[in-house]
Amino acid sequence: MTPHAMQRQHAHASKYEVLASLESFVKDLMEKHESKREIWYSSQILPVDQDSNNDKEIKELRDRARGVPDSARVALALNLLTEEGLPHFHRLIAEHFGSDTFWSKWNNLWTAEEDRHGNILRDYIRDSRLLNFQVLEKLQFNYIRAGFNPDWGGDPYKVFVYTSCQEKATQVSHANTGRIVVDKEPMINAITQKIAQDEARHYAFYMNVFKEILERDPDHALDAASAIMPSIEMPGISVVNFNEYADVVRRSGIYGPRDYKKIVEQLIIAWGIEVMKCLNELGRKAQEKIMGIPARLEKVAEYIELRSKTKSFRFEVVFGRVLEMA
């Protein structure tokens, strides 16, 4: 461990004790997780038969893909880039949960599951010629190279709050992307629904771990939640033109501030935040702050919707075509 990492661990020493005490809880949760999920691979969904040539299937796939609207292509590009940010997240989890503890079992399992998401989206996009692949590869390279360093101050509790929000956000985003193209290209929907189901199970894992932390260390846990929940920094933030992508995704009804508000409301209920009692000053303040977040997010959503006018976009990755959106 680097001196800097040791210093940060020291600052959150009692939290690391709580994390260490969760071993059997996490073991049970992982067993439950593994018993519920099925592992699928890109090769089971997309044609990769070595013995016959897949020309006909690939041709049909490309024909269907031609009907996919550019707004959905933008969303798929952002979904893929987000998934390909996996190295950042593997590192962040290892840094915050320890790479030499039982938590590394979860980190490795989770990483292996997540890796398939980027694989299948990338395979589909390449087979279908849906995007300018060279541009996409450069975006991916630059995104990974730019790094992703959210300001969590070495607090491991914040990681659970962030991942709970983030897994749910990716679930919504994948599922809605599939839904808007299902009539043009059902295979995209089949892929994104499979990914969304994985994200839902990841959400359940992180959400349940943090629920347990709230039981064991309520005041510090609430304090961490109140720092993260007002707004989460999306992993793709360092993607060039990220805000333009996010704007198209919002205008397409795939993911926007209202979806985030729903996620916060859902977490407040799942974590029982409103009804938590016997808190100290720190905990009470955090609880109050969290309970005020949905109303604030509603105002943000209204503000954005009121200001939003028809706009034209242009993305190199979508062959530089102009995209008009209301």
223 binds Fe ion (CB under 5 A): no
**In the block, which residue shows the tokens 């692949």?**
133
Q: Give me the least distance between CB of 166 and Fe ion, in Å please.
A: 8
Q: Which is nearer to Fe ion, 167 or 185 (CB)?
A: 167
Q: Which of 12, 15, 202, 220 binds Fe ion (CB under 5 A)?
A: 202
Q: Which of 70, 84, 95, 114 binds Fe ion (CB under 5 A)?
A: 114
Integer Cα distance of 175 and 180 in angstroms: 9
Q: Which of 127, 199, 219, 247 binds Fe ion (CB under 5 A)?
A: 199
Q: Give me the least distance between CB of 167 and Fe ion, in Å please.
A: 5
- Whether the CB-CB separation of 240 and 139 falls below 8 Å is answered with yes
Q: Give me the least distance between CB of 195 and Fe ion, in Å please.
A: 6
117 binds Fe ion (CB under 5 A): yes
**In the block, which residue shows the tokens 């590869």?**
137
Size of the site for Fe ion (CB under 5 A): 6
Q: Which is nearer to Fe ion, 82 or 132 (CB)?
A: 82
Candidate segments 49-57, 73-81, 161-169, 182-190, binder of Fe ion by CB under 5 A: 161-169
Candidate segments 31-39, 42-50, 82-90, 152-160, binder of Fe ion by CB under 5 A: 82-90
Q: Give me the least distance between CB of 163 and Fe ion, in Å please.
A: 8
As beta bridge partners, residue 323 has: 313
- Contacts to Fe ion by CB under 5 A: 83, 114, 117, 167, 199, 202
